[in-house]
Every structure is written in C-alpha cells, then in structure tokens.
C-alpha cells in the first residue's frame, strides 16, 4: 500500500513543504514548494494566517496520510525562536485540522539519516534528497524545500523504527 507523507520545514518568512510517496520501498516526489510570507507585513498574525491557509490548501489537494515536521533548533535570538515556534505551531495545527498525524524530527536526526552526519550542510541534504528521489542533478528548488523533502524522507526511513 503506498504511503504519502508531507515534510514541513517551518519558518515565519519561508515555510518549505514537500510530499513524498513510498511504494514497495521506492520513493518518489509528488510535489514540493515554499510558502513565502511578505517581509513587509507588519502584523505577524497575518503571516501566520497565510502559512496556515496555504498549507491547508496543499493538504486538501494532495491529502498526505502522515506529516513530519522539523523541531525547533536552539536559536541565539529568543525573539526569532518564538516566531519560529509560532510558525511551527501553525503548521502542526493545519495538519491536525486535516486529521493528519504529525511526527517531529530534530534537524540533526534528519541530516544524519540522509547524509550520515548531523552537521551536514543544506547543500549536502539537497544532493541526497535528489539521490533518494532519483531526480536529475539539475533539479533545484529553495533549500527550505529540499529540507522539507529531507524531513519526509527521514520519516519514511524511520517510521517503523523502535527509536521513534
């Protein structure tokens, strides 16, 4: 039975998302994208509403069965960490509103699962995402999008692991 997963890399300015299907151990790209909020938007709640609405549209259209989302990393700036947490909460709420179970993954676990080291660079993650999905080297998208696809791939790789 095929399983479709959405990976989400939350951010208050850019939220990456990627949907991956796994069937008989073979991964394939369904769709991916990025939600960009307007940096000049001075009402933060409007940015959060935009993230929620656009993710809801994606969820309604593609109907993934499960969701994987990146946990918040330790940020040096507490104000930035709070905004990131709010954007993450909106993404989790969008999935919950669509009855999609959500699992959380630390950024270092995602990188270690894909690249073999928890301190991998974003470009290394993007390369491995293309490799796992059997995409041509010329395939490119924003790094937030490849991170989201990496989160989905990590979830599909680890979902039956007793470690989670």
Write down all domains in the chain, each with its CATH number in brackets.
Answer: 3-158 (3.30.420.10)
- DSSP letter for 106, please: -
- DSSP letter for 72, please: P
Question: Quick one: which of 74, 71, 75 has its CA closest to 106?
Answer: 71
Q: pLDDT 10s per residue in the chain (164 long)?
A: 999 999 999 999 999 999 999 999 999 999 999 999 987 667 899 999 999 999 999 999 999 999 999 998 766 788 888 899 999 999 999 999 999 999 999 999 999 999 999 999 999 999 999 999 999 989 999 999 999 999 999 999 998 776 65
What is the distance in angstroms between the CA of the first residue and the CA of the last residue of the chain? 22
What's the rounded Cα separation, in Å, for the pair 125 and 146?
7
H or E stretch including 99?
none
- Residues acting as catalytic residues: 9, 70, 144
**Phi, psi at 151, each rounded to 5°:** -65, -40
Q: What is the pTM of this model?
A: 0.94
Question: Hey, is 122 helix, strand or coil?
Answer: helix
């Amino acid at each position: 039975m095929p399983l479709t997963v959405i990976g989400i890399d939350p951010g208050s300015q850019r939220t990456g998302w990627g949907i991956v299907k796994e069937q008989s151990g073979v991964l394939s790209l369904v769709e991916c994208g990025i939600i960009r909020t307007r940096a000049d938007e001075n009402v933060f709640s409007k940015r959060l509403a935009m993230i929620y609405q656009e993710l809801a549209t994606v969820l309604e259209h593609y109907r993934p069965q499960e969701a994987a989302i990146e946990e918040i990393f330790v940020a040096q700036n507490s104000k930035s960490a709070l905004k990131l947490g709010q954007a993450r909460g909106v993404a989790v709420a969008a999935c919950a509103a669509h009855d999609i179970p959500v699992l959380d993954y630390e950024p270092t676990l995602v990188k270690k699962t894909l690249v073999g080291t928890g301190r991998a660079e974003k470009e290394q993650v993007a390369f491995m995402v293309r490799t796992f999905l059997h995409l041509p080297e010329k395939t490119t998208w924003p790094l937030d999008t490849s991170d989201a696809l990496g989160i989905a791939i990590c979830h599909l790789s680890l979902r039956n692991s007793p470690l989670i």
